[in-house]
Structure 1
């Protein structure tokens, strides 16, 4: 198995994005307890190929859309027991779900991203729920996938109780696709506005006139635009797990509401962060366990492994760098990093979770290796 060719070389249908390339499909979703298997959901919906570089893999990733154009407007099923709203209730409806091939680990563990995300708990930034699944496409076995929820306005409404129509989400992307290196992934620009970075204008304006937040009044003004706790948890997580190569240049996401609601702390108009695509955490992608990938990445002007892909001058990186000029913020950030070592990333906890993932994935990966998958041999 492998990739076809690099994306810029082929103008194929699997490269195309947007609703114009969405197609209608039907899904049957089965659950098994090891003894009995039952169909839990049958639904017509939309389907698109998902991802960036992984689009060139033989085993494609897919995104499924519930729309009234096809049938029910939501997938009404609790796919993940650990996916809960802010009140502690298990979320049982979704607008979009993802069948991911494993991304950069598509041909190795499949589950590096979901393993790291499974360790995250009690954070002030969002992350994805995931579980392994097996996909049959038009009746043909297509192998092991990772079933994940997907960040969108409906996700924020179901999780945080905000109005989905007021949610805007920016997402880091390949510069070859988006000149800015990021795109407005959710939400609409005001009529007549063409600048993709429109919702970042206030943030950019402040950063262009401030090089330091040592003055507490300046810090407070900036913290009214960017949620302090969300930023600390997000960057502490990414740094602690040593996510590299694609981050921080790519694979980052920020969201906020465009309208304020004093009854909901998440509808305060502040930018918050989301964790996704962290399969290069740990030693994945590095030469060996002793390699200092954080130091090495600092030697690159881009902050990524590919100096041609994206530069480091992104809103999330600039915001963090500016916040770090404030001593109180630095102290909180360091304390949070230290708490992770004896908390959610504690050695025994992480090792036990890794054994659990091996138990989940190893049997179905062994089965997959013994089956001829269409177009993948």
Structure 2
């Protein structure tokens, strides 16, 4: 066996057929018989032939690679979205290149340039919390035909399709559940309000209070990070105030987990004295000693729908028609012990 690998010319010589026949057989050309395809592929394998994917990409105009940019990969939500995209595109021969922005717009810009230089066929993106100016994204639309699909975190840019959940609805049903359980002084961990998803969850929380004739108290709204430590710090600050909440709706499961830890440390009973509900339905929420209620974001479905939107865009580009899609998925509330008083 040739360790360096054979060429199509070597295969052609061994089988005494034309180079064109070998090339067509390897690429499953319809004019080549199945018997010839099988023989050529068998010989190619025996001779350690490796197809030149770069040359193939240059010829076809597609690399069969797509890029995915997420803030972090070490959360169940983003890893599940990536899995959904991969499962949807893999049957069509696509491979994914995963990049992390670490919530830094400058890193996000570098990743975009790298993916464009790699000539990916499409880019899936959940923007960083520091992405305020979107000129670097707009320039891709202006100068290339590379489709971009936003998922979860998005910016409103004409020409870019989006796949999100109804965050407003998620915030509303979580707050309404707490109200129906008899809680009246409900605090909200709002997350980083530079991101539209957290603004929408906050607005859903506010509207649920208004619809049930409860006051919206600005002191009960805490804009904060989405970490366990942020949840711990928020409880410390809230308990320094006179008006102590009897329930917490957090835009993050991790901040909600931190809140539970600090409440337990202070010997405050959950949910009898204070209820806690999170957002994202991370796996740990159902395996805690006191299981935690949470709004599920259906990340696997979000990934699969993002993949479908991309595949549709590929078909549309081939037909000369481009349609901007806005897919909004319905959130689901999982009610567990941390918020079930009745």
Query: What TM-score, normalized to structure 1?
Result: 0.24
- Which has the larger Rg? 2
Q: Return the structure number with greater relative CO, CA threshold 8 A, min gap 6.
A: 2
